[in-house]
Structure 1
């Protein structure tokens, strides 16, 4: 089978590209999926350059998302021919991932394809869409059902899908982005206002700011999240799912003890399977957006390397969909 392989040739030096490899054999409680679509995520980009926090085992096949059809099954839960998907867990990290024509995974990782959505559509969402849906769900669960929502890193995969879902649900969306040339794009997918990162990511010594946002969906961390917390209205919510700005959060307790603000972490990797299934059901129904094509660049296996370089350089916008077969 064809696969996108990352190889370690010496300490801190890696090469990657398409190679022919053996189709993996499955063991007890495993399935073999014939891949139809995958996607690209920032974690794939880190894996492709040997980031030790993501991948330690080489040679390695990237791809933290996969959708396809069960080719072989050693599980009583899945039958040959069923349409399925996998996101999260160790897929594409130290377990060979979805950038290949066949993928072997434990059956416990696999989710049956929801109704009302195709394998192409669901991989357009991928881990980014799942993370966005989990974030929006937390707002709704915490009684944030209307108002002004701030979305950081809004041109990225999670951010752009979050903007679109929130707009569909009737929220007023303010987007933060470092890409001035993408202001029109962000407004076309549902942002009513766009703030440039340079105007928001400032060192502000004030412990609190004026109350502007009912909630925040943060995808970048660092000082941007710290400043956003200061501007959340009383009884508001912030979700946090990323660290592309920084993994550090230097803040104070005033938003939490004076305004009752809640900060909620979002993890789409190891969260319970039932939670993933529920989020995918929402994505295929009330969260389903009609501007997927505007958010998506479709590529094939041969174009992965160039797209990963774009992700690493911070030049990517929206989602990369990878057509495998």
Structure 2
């Protein structure tokens, strides 16, 4: 059976460098990688990492040709895994799908059943990708904050207008927390308030290296989707016994800080890795998402595109020009 896929190819350039190009191609099942479950993919998403892969940045992909898309949702077509049967609606995030294993930018995918989660009854495949890797990561971060401690003051969300940040604002607000949203785009203020933010903070306030190891106790927690100087600034302004869940590196993977916030204020720095997350916490996170997410509000933050739009959108997400969630209808 032939089906469409967005195939990435690496090619030599005249200057000796290598570039990645994308083309819509017809392929068949014989070309899919090994796995014990085959899924008819309905939706995928465009994340920051997808933008890097589409642009050949960071050598996240080593073997070409390649099919990107770091997550997808669809319906099981065939399975040699007793946990899944044809007709089951499933979602996949993580496990380096779209990097070392072909991902969601194709109408069919073959993967290990260990990587899949059966969707809760109330979550459609479209809902699953409006949530996507970004929302799943946000849920893990919110759960980590609640488990390890939220202090006094609002919970700060950095990179709030992006995919992870947008869903984090909504989830934290839905769970009853006051949320302060940090963004460099003032035009998104109404959008963020609609998601549940009670305060909008200019990204510039957190963009300069902190002058002191401790500032005022401004925030009771933080979901940091940026990293770098932004994370260092947030740490100096956390209240006693608060937690910071860090899950992004767009601002760099360096961290110029001191032990002072951890020793004198008992701040917890929590690393969130949604890639290799074991099955039990993955399934629990999707159940909690089913309970908390407002489907209509979630749909309002999503833009739906087709496979043919991704080559153009990749550079835009890297430049911070994409708001909210970008859902890819692989059948369109």
TM-score when normalising by structure 1: 0.95
In the other structure, the counterpart of 1:264 is 270
Please name the residue that 1:273 is paired with: 279
Match of 1:161 among 163, 167, 187: 167
What does 1:142-181 correspond to in 2, within 5 Å? 142-144=148-150, 147-181=153-187
Q: Tell me by how many angstroms 1:160 deviates.
A: 0.4
Q: Which of 45, 55, 59 is 1:49 aligned to? A: 55
Q: Which runs of 5+ in 1 are unaligned?
A: none
- The CA distance in 1 between the partners of 2:251 and 2:119, in whole Å, is 34
In structure 1, the residue corresponding to 2:291 is in which secondary structure?
coil
**Quick check: 1:229 aligned with 2:254?**
no
1:60 pairs with 2:62: no
CA distance in structure 2 between the aligned counterparts of 1:155 and 1:206, rounded to whole angstroms = 28
Q: Distance in 2 between matches of 1:189 and 1:176?
A: 13
Match of 2:313 in 1: 307
**CA deviation digits over 1:17-36, x for unaligned, max 9?**
21112224779861110011
CA distance in 1, matches of 2:56, 2:32: 26
Aligned Cα root-mean-square deviation (Å):
1.7
Distance in 2, matches of 1:179 and 1:67, equals 30
Residue 207 (1) aligns with residue 209 (2): no
Q: Determine if contact 2:151/2:219 at 8 Å carries over to the other structure.
A: no
Q: Which residue of structure 2 lines up, in the alignment, with residue 217 of structure 1?
A: 223
Q: Within 5 Å, which residues of 2 pair with 1:3-152? A: 3-10=5-12, 11-24=17-30, 30-144=36-150, 147-152=153-158
Q: Cα offset for 1:287?
A: 4.5
Q: Which moved more, 1:140-149 or 1:273-282?
A: 140-149
How many residues align? The count is 325
Aligned to 1:324: 330
Q: Partners of 1:19 and 1:27 in 2: how far apart?
A: 16
Aligned partners of 1:26 and 1:74 also within 8 Å: no
Q: Could you tell me how far apart the structure 2 residues matched to 1:28 and 1:76 are?
A: 17
* 1:188 maps onto 2:187 in alignment: no
Which SS does the other structure have where 1:245 is aligned? coil
**Structure 2 segments unaligned to the other structure (5+ residues):** none
- Measured in 2, the distance between the counterparts of 1:217 and 1:277 equals 21
